Amino acid sequence: MAQQPAETVSKGELRLCARLGLDEAGTQSLLAAMRAGMSSRGAVVLTARAPEGYVPPFACENLGADWLPPRVYVPAVGEKPTSYPDYAEGFYYSLDLSSCWESACLSQVPPPASSLDMCAAPGGKTMLMAARFGGQNHTANEVHPGRRGILRQNLQQCGYPEVEVTGLRPDQWARNGKTFDLLLVDAPCSGQSLLCKGIKNPGCLSSSMVNGNAKRQKGILLSAAQCVTPGGHIVYTTCTYDPEENEKVIAYILKRVPGWYAVEVPELECFRSTLVPFPAYRLLPVHGAGAGGFCCLLRKEN
Ligand SMILES: C[S@@+](CC[C@H](N)C(=O)[O-])C[C@H]1O[C@@H](n2cnc3c(N)ncnc32)[C@H](O)[C@@H]1O
């Protein structure tokens, strides 16, 4: 029988695996996940519209994971949560499990008197925050006008009319002098994890894409740091793997901006990054909780 030709490994793939410090087995596992594109894992978060005591109408899995945020359910394999009338009613919002795990960072944050989601559309992180703390005194900001419309519509649909929707750039927030107890920065990134969901993302492994995103992320975080009250927090997240857009962005901020430190999140210990001495967390497809991403909780000293 003729042998299948071995798939060639690109320079970008090799660079990424080397930067992540993966051994041979880890490299093979990540490359296989990127090629298979099957790592998507669904989740839903209950919204303000869900009646008291509501449970979703579809079968759910019990992951038994400490990090699963409150009011988040994992539909059993084969279930399609968006096909139920309750979805159209806005009782829950559907997203990837790997967009939920980072919300465990909020377990280390006291209920904020005010909060800002700086990169909010289409609204997943705002919904997760609201599921824990409620939507009062929360601002959902999105710079892109088209995406802002979708954000507004999703918040309306899910019962959060009290959330203020804005469209300022991070540098404009930094200049306007308003501060918040909690900032969510789900930064625009190269989106390498999309490959593991079977979504084409040409160029996401290239140096120019990664470096361009890292530069933008540093700018966004520098602005975000100016918008936090003393003792307040930033949750920084991305859906990409490259340390240049993750650990290195945090290391840059910790060095550049005095008075900030990274906070341990005990529920996320199994995802702790070994690339840096401070607490930061990365999810890979091998963890079985979706396509993956990165998060770090930052606190501003009092
Ligand atoms: C990863 S997405 C946010 C997803 C959202 N947090 C959610 O959970 O549904 C990043 C968002 O940042 C916005 N964005 C792009 N460039 C930006 C910039 N320079 N500053 C702030 N936000 C930006 C994008 O339009 C996009 O909506």
Q: What is the DSSP string of 205-216?
A: TSHHHHHHHHHH
Give the span between the Cα atoms of 71 and 55, in whole angstroms.
Answer: 9
Specify whether the CB–CB gap between 177 and 168 falls below 8 A.
Answer: no
Residue 47 has pLDDT above 80, yes or no: yes
Using the mean position of ligand 1's atoms as its centre, give its distance from the Cα of residue 271 in Å: 24
Q: What tens digit of pLDDT does each residue of 148-184 get?
A: 999 999 999 999 999 999 999 999 999 999 999 999 9
Give the span between the Cα atoms of 39 and 42, in whole angstroms.
Answer: 10
> What pLDDT, on a 0 to 100 scale, did the predictor assign at position 5?
54
Q: Give the mean pLDDT of the chain.
A: 96
Share of the chain above pLDDT 90, in %: 97
Residue 1 has pLDDT above 90, yes or no: no
What is the SS3 assignment for 51? coil
Whether residue 257 has its Cβ less than 6 Å from ligand 1: no
> What pLDDT, on a 0 to 100 scale, did the predictor assign at position 30?
97
Mean pLDDT on 123-128: 98
The two beta strands, 281-283 and 293-300, are antiparallel
**Residue 3's pLDDT band (boundaries 50, 70, 90)?**
low
Using the mean position of ligand 1's atoms as its centre, give its distance from the Cα of residue 288 in Å: 25
Specify whether 239 is catalytic: yes
**Token pair belonging to 8:** 């060639």
Specify whether the CB–CB gap between 158 and 135 falls below 8 A.
Answer: no
Whether residue 170 has its Cβ less than 6 Å from ligand 1: yes
> What pLDDT, on a 0 to 100 scale, did the predictor assign at position 243?
98
The DSSP H or E segment spanning 233 is strand 228-238
Residue 273 has pLDDT above 70, yes or no: yes
> What pLDDT, on a 0 to 100 scale, did the predictor assign at position 6?
61
Tokens 């005591």 -> residue: 53
Domain 11-300 belongs to what topology? Answer: Rossmann fold (3.40.50)
Residues in the chain: 302
**Residue 74's pLDDT band (boundaries 50, 70, 90)?**
very high
